[in-house]
Chain A
Amino acid sequence: MNETSTAQRFAQGFVRSVVPVLLALIVSGLIMLAIGSSPLEFFAGVWKYGITGTNWQRSLSLMAPLLIVAIGLIVAFRGQLWNLGYNGQYLLGAVTASGLGPILFDVLPAFLATIVIFVVAVLVGAVWSLIPAILKARYGTNEIITSLVMSFIAVGVVNLLIKGIFKDPAVSTPQTAVIGDDYLLPFIPGTEIHIGFVVAIALAIVAQYVLSRTSFGLRVDIFGASPKAARHVGLNSTWMVILLFALSSGLIALAGSVDILGQFAYQRADWDPRYGDAVMPLVFLARFRPVAAIPFVAFYAVLATGGTLASQQAGLNVDFLLVIVGLILLFMTITEYLGNRRQLGQSYLPAGLRRTVLQPFRKESERTSA
């Protein structure tokens, strides 16, 4: 019998979430050794530039966009919709802020302009997701592919906008006009962390409540578990797909606009931080729970903040973070596999995805002859 106490279940879940990360860090260290870089120098650099002094504040500032992206992904993934167009959706939100910001802050009070920018960013993101959503709802076209293709188109559109109508004529490099410090999101008193961080934490708590304690959350879970069952209890699956996609994409676009108004104040052409690629494994590790995503996002924020400088010092470059993220994904599936074999309890993967995760082939000797 598998009766376990809450504490035991929590401990098991904790082990299965942390082990993949540790294994990924160890293996990435070995890879660094193999290509002639020093892992010690790298990880010491991550600690130094990500946490010590006031660097922890930079890490927390980075958490704001990362966490909002995570919530956006969770909303879609809970409903078994694999929205992978996050890079484009993020940049569309960012360009909404960096493009409209310099114009709106001149004509509207700062507070009102900020709200308008956030609302427009969410709408832009939501509208952008309509094509994948409708194709999925009407014809069952694989949303992974359509959202990815839309993402590449969005990257092009954003670059055209920055080199075109949003370009700052005063500067020769293609970038938008810099938004004045007075108009950026205010800092939390006593720190240099913008309030986007508070907004992100609040959104995570609200999302956690809505997804786990309301009838809407229950509907999302039923829809995710089985669209057929959802139809039987009277849910309109077409609208569910469109709504979840719009919410997901809108939140990710919001993250982009928060990042611009909180951190960067302007946007360069060809800038693509690809936060979504990093966040995606983390939301699996958090088992699609917004609040559980907070520690994972915090971990990655430190890794990314410190890793940017540390990777240069260790003779690598920032793209090495992609390797670490990919390794986390790989070890996640492997831990999941070993965990299932050992009946360790909870799974990262929802039932729908788990259907595609199979038990290993039985040994020849166990075969029953028909």
Chain B
Amino acid sequence: MSDMLSAAFITVFITTVIAQAMPLMLASVGETIGEQAGVLNLGIEGVMLVGAYAGFVVTLSTGNFWIGMLAGVVGGVVANLAMLVLNVWLGLNQIVIGLAITLIGEGITSVLYLQNYTKSPASLGQAPKLAIPGLGDIPVVGPAIFQQSGIFWVALLIALVLAFALARTNWGLSTRSAGQKPSSLDAAGGSVMRTRSIAVLLGGGLAGLGGAYLSLITTATFSPLLTNGLGFIAIVITMLSRGRIIIVMITSLIYGLAVAIGPALQVIGFTIPADLIKMLPFLIVIVMLILFARSSVVPPALGSAYTRGAR
């Protein structure tokens, strides 16, 4: 048991928690903004995969992780364009389009990966670390938190800025009213369509960024169906967090803990089947849903497209 308390062990543990939590956090923040604006995006799983694949390919060819992350964002936005055009603009069914995006995203990234990389599976190696002077030298916590890649800090900053913006700015108010009562937003002179369009594009970009974080930093490679349901966990976390991004961030950390505990227990001698470890996040999610089912609140206009003048 002394192993469990060794500095190196705890450092690895914290690093794993963060690496697992970040992709989910980014995707959930994106989904939160979409849901607050009234767009339930079931395509997030596919969007994340497109972002992950785009980031992987670009990083592999340029060698630059920052450009790879950017490619992930672009990939996510492009994948979500289908939702933008078909749902927000034309008002077609969100659930069907979302599932279509997920299926196409899964299929196309898997086909492309196996076509191009199956003969020589590529690993990206480690993203360059950014050691923060002073803080990075703290034992245990320093190497775990303050020697992360700069991408970690940028991602964290994006989430915090959006948390503030959604809760405290005019933009946030418009976004939330587009999900609560679109007709009020319309009456107040705002554009429901423009507000939702921005939310959908932002959501796509963040899901793509989350996917890229997963392939570039968490796993340092791509494989078919890499996300393995992470997009759906993001939707659950969004539902349970009731639109508060700070809660989204905390819940994502809890998810990271749940995922990191499995390998950690294995290190200290418990053997846990890999399938159980994969299942654990979903078990936690279903328990949370059972316990907090009553409090999972979604915006009233979620899922319905807005038609001016309709009842």
Q: Which residues of A contact B (CB under 8 A)?
A: 31, 35-36, 82, 84, 131, 135, 138-139, 141-142, 144-146, 148-150, 152-153, 155-157, 159-160, 163-164, 277, 280, 284, 315-317, 319-327, 329-330, 332-334, 336-337, 349, 353, 355-362, 367
Contacts and interface: CB of A to CB of B under 8 A. Distances in A.
B107 A321 contact: yes
Q: In this complex, which of A149, A327, A362 has the most chain B Cβ atoms within 10 angstroms of its Cβ?
A: A149
B193 A31 contact: no
Contacts of B97: 329-330, 333
Contacts of B92: 333-334, 336-337, 357
Nearest to A162: B275
Interface string B126-158: 000000000000000000000000000000000
> What's the dominant secondary structure at chain A's contact region?
helix
A323 B108 contact: yes
Nearest to A370: B187
Given A358-B91, A361-B193, A152 B289 contact: no
A153 B97 CA distance: 25
Interface residues of B, number: 58
A31 B294 CA distance: 45
A324 B103 CA distance: 9
Interface of B is mostly: helix
B275 A160 contact: yes
B33 interface: no
Cβ-closest 10 pairs across A and B:
A322-B107, A156-B279, A358-B91, A326-B103, A326-B104, A323-B107, A329-B100, A319-B110, A358-B305, A139-B293
B283 interface: yes
Contact of B108 (A31, A155, A277, A353): A31
B296 A141 contact: yes
Interface in B257-311: 273, 275-276, 278-279, 282-283, 285-286, 289-290, 293-294, 296, 298, 303-310
21 contacts: A35-B115, A131-B286, A141-B289, A141-B296, A145-B236, A145-B239, A145-B289, A146-B289, A148-B232, A149-B285, A149-B289, A153-B279, A163-B273, A320-B107, A322-B106, A322-B110, A326-B101, A329-B97, A337-B92, A357-B91, A360-B89
A152 B228 CA distance: 9
Given A156-B282, A160-B275, A360 B90 contact: yes
